[in-house]
Structure formats: structure tokens, C-alpha cells
A and B are shown apart, each in its own frame.
Chain A
Amino acid sequence: MPLLEVNDLKTYFRTDDGVVRAVDGVSFSVDKGQTLGIVGESGSGKSVTCLTIMGLNPRRSAISAGQALWKGEDLLTASPKRLREIRGSEIAMIFQDPMTSLNPVHKIGDQLAEAMRLHADVTKKQSRARALELLKAVGIPRAERRLDDYPHQFSGGMRQRVMIAMSLINNPDLLIADEPTTALDVTTQAQILTLIEKLQEEFGSAVIMITHDLGVVAEIADDVVVMYAAEVAEKGNVNQIFKKPHHPYTWGLMGSLPRLDADVERLVQIQGQPPSLLRPPTGCRFHPRCPYVMPICKEQNPELLEVSDDPGHLQSCHLDEETKNREAAKLLAGMMAEAS
């Protein structure tokens, strides 16, 4: 049984302008120890999907439907008490901006220890010792002294390490990382990713990595879900997605990657803008921006179907398979050619 199974998840927000359909029928699953990468543009619904799983959406305005089965238990119908038990101990989440994710008036050590004491009946001394352990594990130098420091005394990369320490302090089975490196510079980014991978091995946790960066996904994910406009455009394991992508959006994403090893005059863009989730386009949500658009695309939203001879690889596009195979091959060849 998979650790986490999300079935047809929907989250809508009531706003003054109407109902925003932030997540509109998303399904995926995560197995023990696996890494799932969720990719998509800003506003595609990737963060909200995970916030919904954790039950962290604003209660007053968010309505959710579908299932989020955690070890068989549906989190969407669980009691607030049960959710609080799970949050921080079985499922942990770290967020995008480390500069603001820590409380500025409490010491780092206290915030770490709090994370532990919320879920385990331990003394202050014990929780402090464990906090120290974790700080060392994430590579904070002179950890003993740093325990009593305040967040503003740490740099961005250090803070993110502290956040990671905080999330792992209770040995969670799943770590959800919401764009953990977006706010950091590239070198730090590499360090943080390596750290997450190493700790994942050490602690045996599964990871959901939300990102808009395909490079990150290629490096650490086992499975990939590509999201567009609150829906799943394509999903499969990392090889399937990168070697044989079957959705024009995925092609657009890969084609727009800048390359260091090739001389390109202009970066390729996907034309157009992400759609409003208040009034999404009819039919396929990508059709206004799709270079392969056909009449049927404007009327019917394609279903998520499996690619033939490629189990586990699903995509939602009306194009016939032959075209897709051809385009995928072209894309890959093009990328290789540029490299030479």
C-alpha cells in the first residue's frame, strides 16, 4: 500500500471575486522512501495541493473534496486533533522562504525543541539535546552555541537548514518540501538538495519536492507530476517524463530550459500567460497557449490516460500518440544537438 495516496483532490477558495479552483482533480501516490517531484508554474496548484493534504488551508475560505489517504486514513475527513498529531511528526513540511518562516523573537533551539515536545513526552533537556543532534546533522557549524541564537543571526541557507532540522526532528515518514531552494542562490541550492537527499537516506523518509525547476526534479526525483492550471498534465517516473515527454506543456517546459553548454540567441518561451483559476479556459486548459491546438481541444478537457507500452506514464492531451512520440524524439534530439 502506498504511503500517501491522493485521489481526485479538489480545493476551491471562496473569494470576493468568485470561486478560485486552485486544485481541480489531482491524483498521485507516494511510496515509502520515494521522492516525488511536483513541477509547475506559479499558480498551478502545486503548493495548495500539499497544504490541503496537511490541512493548512484557511478554514473559512477553503473547500476541499476528494481523498488524501495517509497510510489508509483519509486526512481530509480527519479530526483537527488527529491532523495536529500527524503534522510535524508523521508528515513534515518546509516552506519556500526561510527568511520569514522562523519566529524572530524565539531562539532557534527553542523552536526546534518545541517541534519535538509537541509530539513526544520529553523533558526540556532531552528536547534540547535532540535539537543539537539535528543541528549537527544538517551541517550547522558550532551547533552548541547556535542553539541559543535568534533567526536573524543566521543566513538564508542556514535558516533553511534549521527548517529542515525542525522538520526531521520527529523522524517523519514524509517530508513535503515546498520550493525549498527557490529563495536561495545556486550554490546553496545545491548544498540543500544534497542535504535533503542524504537525510532522506539516513532517516528513510519519502519526499515530495515541489518546484518549478526541472533541473532539481531531474536530480532527485523518482516520480514526477507535472501540473498545469490546477490539473495534472502528465505524470510518470523521472525517466519516462524526461526521455519521452508526452504533453505539449512538458515539451514547452523542457524546451525553455536555458543551457550552459550551447550557444542560444533567445530563450524559448511558452507563449501566453497561465490562465485564471477563477474562470479557467474551456476544454483543455492549455489550449490557448498550445502550438498544437486542434478544434477538439477547445471543447473537451482531455482525460488522464496511460501511454501505450509505458505503464505508469499518464498524460492528458488530445494529440495522437504518433505525433507525441515524434515530437518527444525531436525535442530530445534538439537538446542533444545543441549540446554539440
Chain B
Amino acid sequence: MWAAVLFIAVTIVTYIIFYAIPADPARLACGQRATAVCIKRAAHYLGTDRPLYVQYGKFFGRLMPFSFKGGPHYKEPSLGRSFTNRLSVNYVVGQAAPVTASLVFGGAVFWLLIALPVGILSALRPRSLLDRLAMVFVLIGISAHPVWIGLLFAYFFGFKAGLFPITGYCDFIHPTGDCGGPVQWAYHLFLPWLTFAILFAALYVRMIRANVMEALGEDYVRTARAKGAPEWLVMRSHVLRNALLPVVTMLGMDIGIALGGAIFTESVYGLPGLGKTAINSISNFDLPTTQGIVVFATLCIILFNLFVDLLYAWIDPRIRLT
């Protein structure tokens, strides 16, 4: 039930923030030659002339998947219409979400592919050359800004070497225009995936290494060896099984957060995902779109956290919800 409260709180806060910003969407909608009459009409049309709580109430009512007008019935939840282009926000979010999802899930695969082997091997051979190189990588990965990394990659691999496209997104399913289909999709996303993954990979290498090193020193590992278990079994059944539990939870939470908008990576590579859309709508003072993205992101984070909680209870017997 906390989830619901949190959700409402976040939406309220977004509304309030918007009203703290000194900009009038009605005036903007009227353009350069904003006359008082125009502004008044625009405000009425957009609904910004009503008091804040009325606006919020209307937003909330639209959002709920049911309506009481003329008897209770199901209605499609709507996030409203954009102030700038009158597009349904549902549509805007619906278009942007798959892009971000592609980036995030693909990036997650990448970062796990890097972090797991490097983290585990570093823990098994502490202070070796591999370990020290891994720690340098971690330092760079954490400190370097994704925009910087993205630009570097785009320049060297994209522009100079011509290996990968610099910008643009290709849809996975519908080949529209000049690019589409799975291969193109992956090709265009390769550099973004790498850029997005580096920061998370760095964080995870550090965490995995620490967890595995800790697990290796645990008493039950010694017991397993004393039973005569071969090293691969000790690693698989005892060490990794325990060391990687926290990785599962972190993964769930990080993906939830990232789905909200991998803003920097999307900006650098021009991917029309939630992050980029959010930036645009904020600069345009487009409240409904921003609000829509916030709602969607919050929903994702809450759902993912819930999912992770349940998953963790399933895999860690100490936390079973009895």
C-alpha cells in the first residue's frame, strides 16, 4: 500500500514543481504575439486557469481506469494531452517507452556480461594483474560521465572508424523507411548499449568482487571443502549462490530506475526515448507530457521494486514470507 501513497505523492510533487516554475503554458501556447485575450482563451482551453487542486483532481480522474459518470464503468486511463502539440500523452509515452526499454534491457545484458566474469575472476585472484586492471576500469567507469563516454565512442567508433552509426533509432519490428528490423535495431543500439553499460558495469564489478571475496571466506565454504567437494561445486553451489543474491536485487532496482529515462545516453545518441522526450517537454514547459513520463517512470520503479522483493523472498530462504 505504500506503493500507492508513493505514487500519489510523486504526482503531486511534479504538479507543484511545475507551478513553482515561472512560466505560463498559456502564454507560450499563444506564441510571440501573445495578447491578453489569447492568453485567457488558451488558459481556459488548456485548463490552466482553474486552481491547482482542480487541475490535479482532473488529472487524477483521467488517470484512473474507471469512471463514475453515468454509472461506474471501465474507461481507459489517460495521461492527458500535451500542451505543446495536443498529442495524447499516452501516445507519446507509448512511442518513447520501447526505445528506452530496448536501451535499458540490452544495456543490462551488456553490463552483466562484463561485470560477472570480471568481478568473479578478480575476486578469485585478488591483487593480480587482472584484478588491478579491473579496479582501474571501475574507477574510470564510475567517474567518467556517460555523455563524455558516449561522445568519445560516437567520435572514434562512429565517425572516425565508421563502424557504427552515430545517431538514430531503428524500430525492432516495423521496417519503416530506410531502417528497421532486428539487425538494424541492434546495430544502431550497439554504441548506446556500451555507453549505458559502462557505468553500471563498473559499479557491479566492484560489488560482485566484494561479495565473492566475502563469500569465499565464509565458514560454510570451508565446510564444503572439508566434505571433499571439488572446487567447481564449491563455487557454484556455495560461493556464487550466496554472493550473487544481492546482485539480483540491485539489478531489479537499477533497471527500474533506468527505465525511467536513460537521459544522457539517449541525448548523445539521439534516441527518441523517455529521457529525451522528458528533456524536451520540460524545456517546453509541457506539463502533461512531463507528468506522463514521471507517472510512467514511477510506476516502473514501483513495479520493479515489488517484483524484486518477491523474487528475493523466493530465492533467499531466510526471507520467505510465511
Closest-by-CB residue of A relative to B125 is A60
Residue from the set B224, B229, B241, B242 with the largest chain A CB neighbour count within 10 Å: B224
Interface of B is mostly: helix
Q: What is the minimal beta-carbon distance from B235 to any residue of chain A, in angstroms?
A: 13
Q: What sequence of 0s and 1s flags, for each residue 303-318 of chain B, a beta carbon within 8 Å of any chain A beta carbon?
A: 0000000000001111
Q: Are B228 and A103 interface neighbours, CB within 8 A?
A: no
**Segment with Cβ contacts to B, from A113-121, A208-216, A230-238:** A113-121
Q: What sequence of 0s and 1s flags, for each residue 248-284 of chain B, a beta carbon within 8 Å of any chain A beta carbon?
A: 0000000000000000000000000000000000000
**Given contacts A104-B242, A104-B318, A105-B241, are A84 and B219 in contact (CB under 8 A)?**
no
| Contacting residue for A114 out of B227, B242, B317, CB 8 A | B227
Q: Are B318 and A150 interface neighbours, CB within 8 A?
A: yes
Closest-by-CB residue of A relative to B218 is A100
- B187 at the binding interface (Cβ < 8 Å): no
Q: Are B226 and A93 interface neighbours, CB within 8 A?
A: yes
Q: What is the minimal beta-carbon distance from B101 to any residue of chain A, in angstroms?
A: 31
Q: Are B220 and A84 interface neighbours, CB within 8 A?
A: no
- A106 at the binding interface (Cβ < 8 Å): yes
Question: Complex formed: what's the CA distance from A127 to B245 in Å?
Answer: 28
| Contacting residue for B223 out of A85, A119, A163, CB 8 A | A163
Q: Are A119 and B228 interface neighbours, CB within 8 A?
A: yes
Q: Are B317 and A87 interface neighbours, CB within 8 A?
A: no
Q: Are B317 and A84 interface neighbours, CB within 8 A?
A: no
Interface residues of B in 220-250 (CB under 8 A from A): 220, 222-230, 237-238, 241-242, 245
Question: Complex formed: what's the CA distance from A150 to B316 in Å?
Answer: 10
Interface residues of A in 67-86 (CB under 8 A from B): 84-86
- A56 at the binding interface (Cβ < 8 Å): yes
Interface of A is mostly: loop
**Given contacts A100-B218, A101-B223, A106-B237, are A87 and B228 in contact (CB under 8 A)?**
yes
Residue from the set A93, A103, A104, A150 with the largest chain B CB neighbour count within 10 Å: A103
**Given contacts A56-B222, A95-B222, A100-B218, are A105 and B316 in contact (CB under 8 A)?**
yes
Closest-by-CB residue of A relative to B220 is A103
Q: Are B228 and A85 interface neighbours, CB within 8 A?
A: yes
Residues of B at the A interface (CB closer than 8 Å) are 218-220, 222-230, 237-238, 241-242, 245, 315-318
Seed contacts A84-B229, A87-B227, A103-B223; 18 additional CB < 8 Å A-B pairs: A87-B228, A88-B227, A88-B229, A89-B228, A92-B227, A95-B226, A100-B219, A102-B223, A103-B224, A104-B220, A104-B317, A105-B318, A106-B241, A107-B317, A114-B227, A118-B228, A119-B228, A152-B318
